[in-house]
Chain A
Amino acid sequence: MNTVIREDTVTKVEKILQDFIEESGATYALITDMGGNPLFTAGEEDFDVDTLAALSAANYATTKEIANLIKEDNFSLLFHRGNNENVHFAKITQDILMIVLFKPFLSLGLLRLKINSLQQKIVSIIGS
């Protein structure tokens, strides 16, 4: 099965992501499918987006497999802390993943709250 993303869907979702970046102070937001294809982006990047999407989808899937292995449903937090940039991964739907890059001085808790509230908005546009 292939996915065709309509123009108005891209515009709406990327507007939500852009607003999120402005409100939260995050650096970059990417929504990818679990196959590693970037779907929507917002913010500035100086890296290869396709590679970030492929590695993030693989990272998320691997973590899920580890959870299955130790009989957990999933891990509620998937987050990498860096010196200059942090990365947070959140499942939006069964097939869609959101990756947010943000500076270490931002609050992870606050960011997660904002990401949770985004989830509903995005699902209402793209469907579950």
Chain B
Amino acid sequence: MAIVNLKDKTIQIKIVYYGPGRSGKTTNLEFIHNKLQQNRNQQISNLVSIDTKGDRTLFFDFFPVSLGKINGFDLKLKLYTTPGQVKYEATRRLVLKGVDGLVFVADSLTSRQDANLESFENLKSNLLYHKQSLSDVKLIFQWNKRDIDEKMIPLSPIEDMERLLNAELKVQSFPASATNGMNVLKTVNYISKETVKSVIEKTILNKHKMGN
């Protein structure tokens, strides 16, 4: 649920990276955070990570980022990841509360296609818990780990992954590698732009149309 503050002229938007365990959600956020730290003069908030000793996300990773101004409003993006492991169902559900945009990070390994599907079904049921559906949020797919040498570990063809997860929705998707950064920024740029556009259409422009 985006928050538009008409006094401070700010728009707050929540983007969640969802997907099965070890698919690369945290690595996505770490890459974005490092890039922002390198490229920008302004101070970037710390990346908060609540993980277990084994580096698996226990609750979520989080950092806020300012995206500049649009229509005179300061845009604040909150990036979250969910824990991917099946056993962290309760915490995963909590992170989805108030989500505006979703990046589903799917694992390209052939052996993980069932886990992708299971996680995607789990996403739908967890959105339902918050009385939301996929049509209420902006969603894109990221086919991660495309950098892996297929001679060493078999990867699913992108067409197969599209067929498995994106056949009905037909939303934007990006092949990516969170470890080397391929299409990581493209993914976050796209989901940010689309989510912001949708929020502005639903709130500010709509209000102006109504003369408020």
Chain A interface (Cβ < 8 Å from any Cβ of B) = 1-7, 9-11, 33-39, 48, 50-51, 54-55, 57-58, 61-62, 65
The answer to whether B94 touches A65 (Cβ under 8 A) is yes
Q: From B7, B90, B99, give the contact of A10 (CB < 8 A).
A: B7
Q: For residue B158, which residues in chain A have a CB less than 8 angstroms away from its CB?
A: none
CB of B189 closer than 8 Å to a CB of A: no
Q: From B5, B46, B98, give the contact of A51 (CB < 8 A).
A: B46
CB of B159 closer than 8 Å to a CB of A: no
CB of B76 closer than 8 Å to a CB of A: yes
With A33-B3, A50-B76, A55-B48 known as contacts, the answer to whether A2 contacts B94 (CB < 8 A) is: no
Query: What is the predominant secondary structure among interface residues of chain B facing chain A?
Result: mixed
With A35-B14, A48-B64, A54-B48 known as contacts, the answer to whether A5 contacts B97 (CB < 8 A) is: no
The answer to whether B4 touches A50 (Cβ under 8 A) is no
The answer to whether B48 touches A11 (Cβ under 8 A) is no
With A36-B78, A51-B46, A61-B97 known as contacts, the answer to whether A2 contacts B60 (CB < 8 A) is: no
Given contacts A3-B2, A34-B97, 16 further A-B contacts (CB under 8 A): A2-B2, A7-B6, A10-B6, A10-B8, A34-B98, A35-B14, A36-B62, A36-B97, A37-B78, A39-B3, A39-B5, A51-B62, A54-B64, A54-B80, A58-B95, A62-B59
The answer to whether B6 touches A6 (Cβ under 8 A) is yes
Q: For residue A2, which residues in chain B have a CB less than 8 angstroms away from its CB?
A: 1-4, 100, 199, 202-203
What separation, in Å, do the CA atoms of A58 and B80 have in the docked complex?
A: 12
The answer to whether A10 touches B64 (Cβ under 8 A) is no
Q: For residue B78, which residues in chain A have a CB less than 8 angstroms away from its CB?
A: 36-37, 50, 54
CB of B197 closer than 8 Å to a CB of A: no
The answer to whether A37 touches B14 (Cβ under 8 A) is yes
What separation, in Å, do the CA atoms of A17 and B145 have in the docked complex?
A: 48
CB of B179 closer than 8 Å to a CB of A: no
- Residues 12-46 of B at the A interface (beta carbon under 8 Å): 12, 14, 45-46
Q: From A4, A33, A34, A48, give the contact of B6 (CB < 8 A).
A: A4
